[in-house]
Structure 1
Amino acid sequence: MTAWTDFLAARGAVFEQGVCAHFGDPAGELAAAGQRVVADLSHYGLIAFTGDDAQAFLHGQITNDLRSLSEKAAVFAAYLSPKGRMLANFLVLRRGADILVMLPEAVRESVQKRLSMFILRAKVKVREAGSEWVRLGVDGPESAVRVSAVLGRAAPEGIMTMAHGDAAFAVRLGDERFDLFIEPAAAPGVWEALSTGFRPVGATVWDWIMVNAGIPAVLPATQDHFVPQMANMEALGGVSFNKGCYPGQEIVARSQYLGKVKRRLFLAHIETDARPGDELYAPEPPDQSCGMIANAAPSPRGGWDVLAVALGPSVEAGQVRLKSREGAPLAFRPLPYPVT
């Protein structure tokens, strides 16, 4: 436990496997999803890159173009295996001399270790930075007003834009959704201010918000399974097709220009429990699975909402089922952004 988790526990936070799962009323908190909520995001880790070569180094390792990265805006990106499949996807931000990568804590250590192996003689230092910034998610009506009060200046206006205060900074991820990064000394006061009018929730509710926003997160069960386009990373602005080489780049380019992406990310609902890595099946193809659950979260209306990577024809036929061809059916619905 840390001073921050002790602070949350004193205010009713319930931790499960080190994650702030809820604040004592899981059903009530889930019912509040889509309204005014503030979430602890400690289940997302941070990696900091510093040094003269930090920007160039990271640019050469990931799917997006970082040459113009500044404190004004964040970008999505992914880190791939040589086979072109995602080992992680994440948010990349700049704060002062640091380039920060925000990704699920469950994959943070392995990704940090792997990236560190390729620094060689580059002037780059890498460190775990989760203890340096408390991460909060703010979602719902009037969230911009509250974020502005935290920063002491206007909240970021455009999607993926950033705004910085003395002890905090924020990135706008949706019309009413923000990620906040706060210095630990200031975090308790910020939490107390935000939790007046915004309901405190845990990771379960935030996961549901991200699932319904169509933003996937690679987890241990799905590492090295999806090329970026399967997870709609290019639709989210997380892939540059104009930059130079990076690990897996040839596979990504071939998939894009030869039209070989047969599986895409879809939003669906299922009436039974689902977990990342669960296989999906349909009548066609008869001899293999047609997809996999990427992310899943309990739904306020019962059952689970999921992001599923699946074959387009199987989804169109409406016969995709969980774990077997006799399993629970998935009911698909549109994503909140276009996919071409």
Structure 2
Amino acid sequence: MSWLDTLNTLGVQVDERGHCQVSKPTGASSSTTITPLTHLGLFDVVGPDAEKFLQGQLSCDIAQVSAGRSLLGAHCNIKGSMISLSRLMPAEGGFWLRTERQILDAAMANLKKYMIFSKAETQDRSDTIVGLGIAGEQASELLQAAGFNVPRETEAFSLSESSVLIKTPGDRFELWLPLEKATALLPELQKSATLSDTNLWLSEEIRYGIPSLSSDTLETFIPQMVNLQTFDGVSFTKGCYTGQEVVTRLQHRGKLNRPMYRLRFNADSAPAAGTKINSADRAGVGTLVSAAMDPDLNNSGELLAVMLKTSFDDATATLTLEGSDQPLQRLDLPYELDAELFERKTM
């Protein structure tokens, strides 16, 4: 039985975007939730040169992944613009990279272009390795009771029988495991947790200011524009990688005009990634990164957007989504951005 068939038997429907929707409440009535991460996919990079190859392609320090941290890392083009964004974790013989399912094929293809002279190879593992998002104050206890060694620090991971458990910001975990194990585990977890949909998981990602990349925003942002350095998703000490010159120049000699911010919107559905944000006197002051409906409020949600800092900071300026007259509400990020990023450096 496929993963989608298993989810269907539990009342979960998956749409063309890979987003799952729970048709009726299933599992225990609990504040701990389980979200099938069907909007995400996973591919591997394995072989004797896997670490060396990825170190020369991605923005994060792959050596830190080997040492025990699961990091976000961007693959950039030579202009420094992101062509994929993945979370890295160790796997037998190399690494697993999980990314938005809609850009997975492109992410693999772009890496393959540089793989020809390396002893490394890549394969889509999305049909055999699946993900669960477990969240809530009792999430760690639930996972421990299920036999997992639960990491305590954010970005730490634990390995167990071909499974990887990652602690993400907040009381949340990503669990990636073989299909047959997920099929057996999910009904057991449901005895103490509630099955939830993709929107709930995405809303938490946004509240923690975690960036994503979609087919509509490929080659639109450089890593610092989505605050990737905040998550150690950019290394400025490891050496060269594709696009590194542009990324490093901005950090040490340039000025960041458009970082990523968090805002609230009013609408009956979440706007699409890539949607423009306008001010009263200027169009295109921002570009939407991701959005999700508020699980607790009707006709409202939160979004992350890369925006002109001057437009966001001007509290008197009304911001709206393209095609809407509803004003956006500025919200705080859960982390501080380095003020030096917004200052012009002098030699």
- The two structures have a TM-score, normalised by structure 1, of 0.92
**1:223 equivalenced with 2:218 (yes/no):** yes
**Match of residue 311 from structure 1:** 308
Residue from 155, 170, 195 that aligns with 1:200: 195
The one-letter amino acid paired with 1:154 is N
Counterpart for residue 44 of structure 2: 48
Per mean C-alpha deviation after superposition, the further-off stretch among 262-271 and 159-168 is 159-168
Answer yes or no: is the 8 Å Cα contact 1:84–1:252 preserved in 2: yes
Shift of 1:82: 1.6
- 2:53 pairs with 1:57: yes
Aligned to 2:171: 176
CA distance in 2, matches of 1:283, 1:246: 40
Amino acid across the alignment from 2:214: L
Shift, 1:20, TM fit? 4.4
Equivalent position SS for 1:155: coil
User: What are the equivalent positions in structure 2 for 1:1-340 lying under 5 Å apart?
Assistant: 3-17=2-16, 19-25=18-24, 35-70=31-66, 72-150=68-146, 152-272=147-267, 273=269, 274-283=271-280, 286=282, 288-300=283-295, 301-302=297-298, 303-318=300-315, 319-323=318-322, 327-340=325-338
Superposed CA deviations along residues 47-84 of structure 1, whole A, max 9, x for unmatched, are 10111111100110010111343262211111112211
C-alpha deviation, 1:312, in angstroms? 1.1
Rounded to whole Å, the distance in 1 between the matches of 2:236 and 2:68 is: 22
Please list every run of at least 4 consecutive aligned residues from structure 1 whose deviation after the TM superposition is greater than 3 angstroms.
none
Q: Which residue of 1 aligns with 2:341?
A: none
Is 1:39–1:206's contact at 8 Å kept on the other side of the alignment? Answer: yes
Q: CA RMSD in A?
A: 1.9
**What is the alpha-carbon distance in structure 2 between the residues aligned to residue 48 and residue 137 of structure 1?**
20
Distance 1:67 1:216 in 2: 22
Q: Match for residue 342 of structure 2?
A: none
User: Residues 62 and 80 of structure 1 are in contact (CA less than 8 Å); yes or no, is this contact kept in structure 2?
Assistant: yes
Give CA-to-partner distance per residue, 1:207-257, whole Å, 9 cap, x none. 112111111110011111111111000011100011222121111111111
State the percentage of identical aligned residues: 24
1:13–1:20 CA contact under 8 A, matched in 2: no
Look up the match of 2:343: none
The offset of 1:18, in angstroms, is 6.0
Q: Distance in 1 between matches of 2:67 and 2:188?
A: 25
Structure 2 runs not aligned, ≥5 long: 339-347
Shift of 1:191: 0.4
Shift of residue 104 of structure 1?
0.3
Post-superposition offset of 1:37: 0.9
Structure 1 residue runs of 5 or longer lacking an equivalent are none
- 1:197 is displaced (CA, Å) by 2.4
Q: Distance in 1 between matches of 2:50 and 2:239?
A: 16
d(CA) in 1 for partners of 2:107 and 2:93? 21
Deviations 1:257-287 (A, max 9, x none): 1242101111110102422111011145x3x
Q: Secondary structure at the match of 2:103?
A: helix
Q: Does the residue aligned with 1:169 lie in a helix, a strand or coil?
A: strand
Normalization by structure 2: what TM-score? 0.90
Give the distance between the partners of 1:206 and 1:80, measured in 2 at CA: 26
Structure 1 counterpart of 2:344: none
CA deviations 1:166-224 (Å, max 9, x no partner) are: 25320000231000012222212210121122111122221112111111110011111
Secondary structure at the aligned position of 2:14 is classed as: strand
What letter is aligned with 1:304? Answer: G
How many residues align structurally?
330
Whole-angstrom distance in 2 between the partners of 1:168 and 1:195: 19
Residue 149 of structure 1 and its aligned partner are, at CA, apart by: 2.8
Q: 2:52 is aligned with what amino acid?
A: A
Partner SS state of residue 259, structure 2: strand
CA contact (8 A) 2:20 2:38 kept: no
